[in-house]
Structure 1
Amino acid sequence: MKSNKEQKYFWLTFSLIVALMIWWFLSNYDRTSRSFPNIILVWNALLIMIDKGFIFEDIFSSLTSVFFGFTSGFLLSAPNALLMAWYSPYRNIVKPWIQFIRNIPPLAYVPLVVISAGVGLLPQVIVIAIATFLTMTVTIYQGIINIDPNLIKAARILGASDFEIFKRILVPSSIPFIMTAVRLGTSISLTTIIAAESTGATSGMGMRIRSLNNSFDSSGMLLYIILIGVIGLLLNKLVDLIERKLTGWQQK
């Protein structure tokens, strides 16, 4: 009987083989061959981008924007979610606006941010911070309000202050929900930066895809699409590692 780890790698290998077969079929079918160039063409595009020095510059530029935007969004969302869960007047004021803005796709307000903040790093950070702040606030808030209220009642009966309840109950119990928010936030950061860089950016993966699209370079575009997916997987693995470190005590 194969172990779970062996089964996991088996099915992963199987899925990769199936994906490559689908790619091969699409690259050889007349109607899709222009959109899905074969692996050799994509590999050549990778070598060209490396030779020109574009690929590492674009990845660094995008990840810099993602880091600062995500960090800003997280630092704002965590305390905001706690305040929403703890104080009903604050929740009644803030929650409707969060729900309203959250329904607006980031691409809709990217041009307004670019007009206000100009081109470069700042507008990209602002757009990512807004998008991640909204999603992570809602996720963390929903987690906090689902914490067992009996724990809080018991703590109050034992004479615990608001600060002690916050420190010993709310924060530890919220960690799994915070990590879920972080996972969603990293994904949203990547999708948002591509949209943000498509309008007025001077570097980054989104800007490069727009540039390659203007020259009808489907091999280069597919290369960058694959790179974005790989970076997303690596960021997800990083979040998994952090989550195991922070919540290992809950799994034992």
Structure 2
Amino acid sequence: MTRLSSVLRGAIMPVLVVIIWEILSRAGVFSAAFLPSPLAVAARWVQAMQPLQPFNPSESSYLVWLVSGEFPHDAAASLSRVLSGFAIGAGLALPLGLLMGTSQRIYTLMNPLVQILRPIPPIAYIPLAIVWFGLGNAPALFLIALGSFFPVLVNTIAGVRQVDSIYLRAARNLGASSMTIFRRVILPASSPFILAGARIGIGTAFIVVIVAEMIAVSDGLGYRILEAREYLWSDKIIAGMLTIGALGLLIDTFASRLNDYLLRWHRGIGT
């Protein structure tokens, strides 16, 4: 009941914004060509969600048929790129962050390069990505991996370097080996930072994928919004934007629930 009431309270502001938007649209405050009404956007969204052909069990499964509509297909393409690019970026950042966090020598060697590259936004790499990888999924995955790499890296380094030295000394005094200290002390103590970085990284990956799809690929929500812009379909642009927001909310909610589950031992969770 508490969770339901929390969801209802969180829906108050979005519903209020939609109501005000609809009232102003009906009053003629906004031109329908530039800012269509919520009902027009909803109608376009429903149209874009519908499968392109009637369901035929002999030709495809129900799931394949269900995602054959424009927005479901594009959402699936965008989500696939986000997960793939994030897996690459986080998979490279995590071991490097653990090494830089545990070894002062590696940190001193690598940190200047990290601090030079970290402020450069992934969008600035778009021309190089196209030159290096051409068009298609490859440059998009490169940009997504780049966007998720640094949040995971920086948080992992911070988490490892902020492990309380009392824990390390206590483990050494008890005769724990370096590998045991790393596995039983450093990793658990730094996991809140690592998971927080992963949550930020996947959020950044979702932002970058939309930009990458506007340039390098021929499907995805970013591509669909750019296509709608060419034809001045404002209702479709907004419908695509809202689809991005809904998908981003689902990803962040899943990441938050996963963090809470993995850190259920951590003091303060659920209080």
Structure 1 partner of 2:45? 46
Q: RMSD value over aligned CA atoms?
A: 2.0
2:245 is equivalent to residue 229 of structure 1: yes
2:178 is equivalent to residue 162 of structure 1: yes
Query: As a proportion of its length, which structure holds more helix?
Result: 1
Aligned residue for 1:248, secondary structure, equals coil
Amino acid at match of 1:14: I
Distance 1:13 1:187 in 2: 21
Question: Is the deviation greater in 23-32 or in 54-63?
Answer: 23-32
Distance 2:49 2:33 in 1: 23
| Contact 1:111–1:199 under 8 Å retained in 2 | no
Structure 2 partner of 1:193? 209
Aligned residue for 2:115, secondary structure, equals helix
Please give the TM-score of this superposition, normalised by the length of structure 2: 0.85
| Contact 1:102–1:135 under 8 Å retained in 2 | no
How far apart are residue 32 of structure 1 and its match? 6.4
Q: How do 1:122-137 residues align onto structure 2 when only pairs under 5 Å count?
A: 122-137=138-153
Residue ranges of structure 1 left out of the alignment (5+ in a row): none
| Contact 1:135–1:181 under 8 Å retained in 2 | yes
How far apart are residue 224 of structure 1 and its match? 0.8
Higher relative contact order (CA 8 A, sep 6+): 1
How far apart are residue 215 of structure 1 and its match? 1.3
The 3 A distance-change label for structure 1 pair 6 and 130 is closer
Distance 1:89 1:136 in 2: 20
Aligned with residue 17 of structure 1, among 15, 18, 39: 15
How far apart are residue 31 of structure 1 and its match? 4.8
How far apart are residue 57 of structure 1 and its match? 1.7
The 3 A distance-change label for structure 1 pair 22 and 77 is farther
How far apart are residue 23 of structure 1 and its match? 2.5
Amino acid at match of 2:86: F
Distance 1:123 1:176 in 2: 31
Q: How many residues align?
A: 250
Distance 2:231 2:4 in 1: 44
Aligned residue for 2:263, secondary structure, equals helix
Structure 2 partner of 1:172? 188
- 1:84-118 residue CA offsets vs partner (Å, 9 max, x unmatched): 11111211222222222221111111121122112
